[in-house]
Amino acid sequence: MATRTEVRATELPAVPLTLEGASCLHQMARVRWPEWKKLPAAERAAIAKEFSAWLAPLEAEGKTALFAMIGHKADLMLIHYRESFEGLKSAELAMANLRLCDFLEPSTSYVSVVELGLYDSTLKLYRELTEKGIEPNSAEWKAAVDETLARQAEAMKARLWPKVPPQRYVSFYPMNRLRGEDKNFYTLPIEERQRQMEAHGLVGRRYAGKVQQIITGSIGFDDWEWGVDLFSDDPLQFKKLIYEMRFDEVSAIYALFGQFFVGVRCAAAGLDELLAGKLPAKP
């Protein structure tokens, strides 16, 4: 087995460049059905209307979306994208103040930021700078990194600041890129991680048009390293894509997954229907 020094034998800095965009909060909640059903119909209607009126403009902007979740882990999931953590906390507070939240029991949540990993450009840049004899972390090195990041952030603006995609189904799950003490992605040289991530991207690209993915990074924010959101009009595509990726070297060896959540997108305007036991249309 390779020793730690052997697998770490690379001249290049280990950390790939990443771009961060929108702050993201997933909120899962169960409806307190017995208490909800006890309310008079007029009160239920007023409570649903208050929530829908708050949600509708955010939904139209693509900033917050409502999903009806399948299975016992949650009845509802809200996905919020905001410009900052302050924006996320404001959304959470505004929502908590709505009367519907008295009838919701949070079951879990997930805090992360939209992240684009730049393994390809990182490796190209690090090699270029090293060949020119520029010292890692010197002023010149940092300036070149900043310049690359600024250029990429501009080119990838739409992906960094997404609207919640419009597809009918979502699959959300958190994951890590290490398994136990022997299988640790972070001890691989950056060249090897770049190679594996490139192969991962190639598999993913075969699902273009069928599944839209948004990767959010959560190191330092939540219990796993990444949150994965997949959106599709055909939920079977989630299974096919994730199954195929299990055979990817990077997933087969290094991926560890948390709980999976699957749900159906619902229009804000359909909330009263949903809470009356009927699945509404998507927006």
According to DSSP, the residues that pair with 115 across neighbouring strands are: 20
Q: What is the 3-state secondary structure (H, E, C) of 166-212?
A: CCCEEEEEEEECEECCCEEHHHCCHHHHHHHHHHHHHHHHCCCCCCE
Residue 226 interacting with ligand 76R (CB under 6 A) = yes
| Shortest distance, position 15 Cβ to ligand 76R, whole Å | 10
Catalytic (active site) residue 173? yes
Segment 163-182, which members bind ligand 76R (CB under 6 A)? Answer: 175, 177
Position 20, amino acid: E
Distance of alpha carbon 80 from alpha carbon 27, whole angstroms: 8
Helix (H) or strand (E) holding 101: none
Residue 256 interacting with ligand 76R (CB under 6 A) = no
Question: What 3-state DSSP class applies to 243?
Answer: helix
Kindly indicate which of the ranges 35-43, 68-76, 141-149, 198-206 contains the residues binding ligand 76R, using the contact rule CB under 6 A.
198-206
Residue 213 interacting with ligand 76R (CB under 6 A) = yes
Residue 242 interacting with ligand 76R (CB under 6 A) = yes
Which residue in 207, 221, 231, 261 binds ligand 76R (CB under 6 A)?
Answer: 207
Output the DSSP codes for 134-177: PPTTSHHHHHHHHHHHHHHHHHTHHHHSPPPP--SEEEEEEEES
Which residue in 6, 41, 131, 205 binds ligand 76R (CB under 6 A)?
Answer: 205
The pair of structure tokens assigned to 212 is 């839209």
Say how many residues touch ligand 76R, by CB under 6 A: 22
Catalytic-labelled residue, pool 81, 110, 126, 173 = 173
Residue 197 interacting with ligand 76R (CB under 6 A) = yes
Residues forming contacts to ligand 76R in the complex (CB under 6 A) are 116-117, 175, 177, 197, 200-201, 204-205, 207-208, 211, 213, 215, 226, 228, 230, 241-242, 245, 251, 255
Active site residues: 173
